[in-house]
């Protein structure tokens, strides 16, 4: 089996560390593993498959000899090094939002549009975490009848804001118990015992940048240029795993039974739908694994062609790290 030289740009962050973990779990065929980060992390070591791997400096010359680079850094870092990665002959699979809407760059969820990876010109974009989880959940419905519209509300875990998010949640929880002061810095307001309907920056249309990703990225991934999506994104006091309530409107009416059967047999999903026995997706069920759980499937009461469901998935894994590794696996034809 051919082995590949793989780099992780932003290897010390939460997503970078998870990428490393998923590469090991899936026995990705690695010859050289090159972990790249900022100067403050250089020289530190990370365990991988029983070996110590030293962190190296992310610089313009750092990508020579690599075949694949997984990006887990900011937009600015991704833009800074993109040309260097492509020039070195590697494929850059980037988790930032820097290139997602570039028409020349594939935006890929392997269960949905995996063949798009082969259209790359050196860069493949990894979608937004909530977009990935939602689209994996509803893609089976699209196979029954074309989806024309979605109305979604996301309930996003604090770790979606980075490693500091859960720390702030825990600190505030302790402060509430002990009577201490609460001084939010990661989130706009106290997140403990609260929900905040504000993720991203507000746009002129009243939606946020995070909310518009569901429509803009959804159209590109599902090859549905006329898809209409209205979305509200909410931060909730959960450590890990995003949940989404979504009503899907299809071109032709589909039945709940057909939807359940399609989701049951779809790649990347688990049908987890037995309300009578209190069985439905939740963050505590879906964290630390790679499948999207789907439940609460029912007919919409407003639109006769609508199906409403609830889904949840680990946004650090399937919503980021695992999806990127799956893209790399698809690219090299490896089934791990």
Count of beta carbons in the 10 Å neighbourhood of residue 3: 12
One digit per residue, the tens of pLDDT, for the chain of length 336 reads 899 999 999 999 999 999 999 999 999 999 999 999 999 999 899 999 889 999 999 999 999 999 999 999 999 999 999 999 999 999 999 999 999 999 999 999 999 999 999 999 999 999 999 999 999 999 999 999 999 999 999 999 999 999 899 999 999 999 999 999 999 999 999 999 999 999 999 999 999 999 999 999 999 999 999 999 999 999 999 999 999 999 999 999 999 999 999 999 999 999 999 999 999 999 999 999 999 999 999 999 999 999 999 999 999 999 999 999 999 999 999 976
Q: Which of 129, 231, 233, 311 is catalytic?
A: 129
Query: Domain-by-domain residue ranges, the chain?
Result: 4-127+320-332, 131-315
The HSE-up count of residue 180 (CA atoms within 13 Å, CB side) is 12
pLDDT at 1: 83
Catalytic annotation present for 129: yes
Q: Do the beta carbons of residue 268 and residue 246 sit within 8 Å?
A: no
Contacts of 141 (CB under 8 A, 6+ apart): 147, 248, 250, 254, 259, 262, 263, 307
pLDDT at position 157 is 98
Residue matched to tokens 């051919």: 2
Q: Is 3.40.50.720 the CATH classification of the domain at 4-127+320-332?
A: yes
Residue 60 among the catalytic residues: no
Per-residue 3-state assignment (H helix, E strand, C coil) for 196-217: ECCCCCECCCCCEHHHHHHHHH
Strand order through the sheet with 147-156: 228-235, 147-156, 242-250, 306-313, 292-299, 269-271
Considering the candidates 231, 233, 242, 311, report the single residue annotated as catalytic.
242
Give me Rg for the CA atoms of the chain: 20
Q: The pTM is what?
A: 0.97
Q: Which two tokens stand for residue 189?
A: 């307001």
Evaluate the CA torsion angle 68, 71, 75, 81 in order and state its sign. Answer: negative
Structural tokens at position 188: 């706009």
The residue written with tokens 């990508």 in the block is 63
Nearest CA to 144 out of 270, 254, 265, 247 is that of 254
131-315: what CATH class? alpha beta
The rounded distance, in Å, linking the Cα atoms of 242 and 302 is: 26
């Amino acid at each position: 089996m051919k082995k590949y030289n793989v780099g992780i740009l932003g290897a010390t962050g939460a997503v970078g560390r998870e990428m490393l973990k998923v590469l090991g779990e899936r026995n990705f065929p690695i010859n050289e593993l090159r972990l790249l980060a900022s100067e403050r992390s250089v020289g530190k070591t990370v365990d991988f498959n029983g070996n110590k791997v030293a962190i190296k400096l992310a610089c313009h010359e750092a990508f020579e000899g690599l075949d694949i680079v997984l990006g887990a850094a900011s937009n600015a870092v991704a833009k800074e090094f993109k040309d260097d990665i492509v020039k070195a002959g590697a494929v850059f699979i980037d988790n930032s939002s820097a290139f997602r809407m570039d028409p020349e760059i594939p935006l890929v969820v392997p269960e949905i549009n995996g063949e798009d990876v082969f259209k790359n010109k050196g860069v493949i974009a990894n979608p937004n975490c909530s977009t990935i989880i939602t689209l994996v959940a509803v893609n089976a419905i699209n196979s029954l009848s074309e989806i024309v519209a979605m109305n979604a509300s996301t309930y996003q875990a604090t770790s979606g804001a980075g490693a500091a998010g859960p720390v702030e949640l825990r600190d505030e929880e302790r402060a509430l118990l002990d009577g201490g002061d609460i001084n939010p810095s990661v989130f706009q307001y106290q997140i403990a015992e609260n929900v905040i309907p504000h993720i991203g920056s507000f746009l002129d249309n009243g939606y946020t940048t995070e909310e518009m990703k569901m429509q803009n990225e959804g159209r590109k991934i599902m090859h549905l240029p006329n898809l209409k999506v209205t979305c509200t994104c909410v931060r909730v006091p959960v450590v890990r795993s995003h949940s989404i309530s979504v009503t899907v409107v299809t071109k032709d009416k589909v039945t709940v039974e057909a939807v359940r059967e399609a989701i049951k047999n779809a790649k990347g999903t688990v049908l987890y739908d037995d309300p009578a026995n209190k069985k439905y997706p939740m963050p505590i069920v879906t964290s630390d694994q790679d499948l999207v759980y789907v439940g609460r499937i029912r007919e919409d009461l407003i639109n006769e062609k609508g199906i409403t469901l609830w889904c949840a998935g680990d946004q650090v894994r399937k919503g980021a790290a695992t999806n990127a590794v799956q893209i790399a696996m698809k690219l090299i034809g490896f089934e791990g």
